[in-house]
Amino acid sequence: MKRLFLLAVIFIFSTAGIFAQEEDLTPESEKDYVDDKNMTVTEVEELIQSQGLIYHLDFVMGIQPLVTINTHTKNSAGKFISAPSPIEVPFYIGLSVPNYTAISFQPTLRFFPTFNLVYGDMVLPAEVENRTSLTLSFLLNLPVVFKINFHDKNSISVFGGLAGLFRFATTPFNVKGSEPGYTGTVKTDIDYMNKWFYKKLRFLYLSTGVDWLFYYGTTKYGPEFSIFFPISTITDKTLDGLMIGVGIKVEF
């Protein structure tokens, strides 16, 4: 199972192939072996270190709803101009390299679609009936993780690093590019958005968070809390784009 999941992650991150050595213990029998031996986390770590390269990786997946702050819901006259802070529910996958160590590197990738519109010189979230674009969003997180184990049964980790939010606006379904838009037409609005997303480092984020994972054999699962802080807060002088997430994380 790990080898199949590894192929999917390699494709997403465009990394080179990882070749595992032939071992007596296969990924399918790994959990049964650990359970039968009633092994502690320390013993599992020693076992993994004796295996091939693929056993030095953990695969990460989770579901983490994200709230994206929008402080420009109304204009100065009190009229609604955009959607309230939207909540997206992205599924994510990634790697933990190496596993069973106090410090590791844990790249992950989230995907979620949003709706947007142009108002003034800003690109804001939109409700479906007022959308100008369908925006495909890819959030690549590159944190370093610091982990503390407790009694070989669970662990608490804190993590921090850089993240990139790569967004690509496109014409929504049932909307034509020639229809009227804020800058002229829907097409010119979308062109404006795709430039705006990357000006003033709006794609660059600082990420931090904490998780509390419980161990079941070689599988770890539990709640996770994350914050993604946009660098553009400094230049745009607004908290727009700040993302806060709470969800469930699994490592195996």
For 95-121, letters b (16+ CB in 10 Å) and e give bbebbbeeebebbbbbebebbbbbeee
SS3 (DSSP) at 4: helix
CB 93 within 8 A of CB 8: yes
The H-or-E segment that residue 236 falls in is helix 233-236
Instruction: Determine the pLDDT at residue 218.
Output: 80
Calculate the dihedral angle through the C-alpha atoms of 129, 132, 136, 138, rounding to the nearest 10 degrees. -100
Instruction: Determine the pLDDT at residue 76.
Output: 85
Asked if the peptide bond before residue 84 counts as cis, ω within 30 degrees of 0, the response is no
**pTM across the whole model:** 0.78
DSSP of 8-34:
HHHHHHTPPP--PPP-SS-HHHHHHHH
CB 211 within 8 A of CB 104: no
Per residue in 134-164, pLDDT (tens digit) is: 999 999 999 999 999 887 789 999 999 999 9
Query: Topology of 58-251 in CATH?
Result: Porin (2.40.160)
Q: Which of 136, 140, 122 is nearest to 88 (CA)?
A: 136
Instruction: Determine the pLDDT at residue 58.
Output: 86
pLDDT in single tens digits along all 252 residues of the chain: 555 444 444 544 444 343 333 334 444 455 555 555 565 666 665 555 555 555 678 899 999 999 999 999 998 888 999 999 999 999 999 999 987 788 999 999 999 999 999 999 999 999 998 899 999 999 999 999 999 988 778 999 999 999 999 999 999 988 999 999 999 999 999 999 999 999 999 999 999 999 999 998 889 999 999 999 999 988 888 999 999 999 999 998
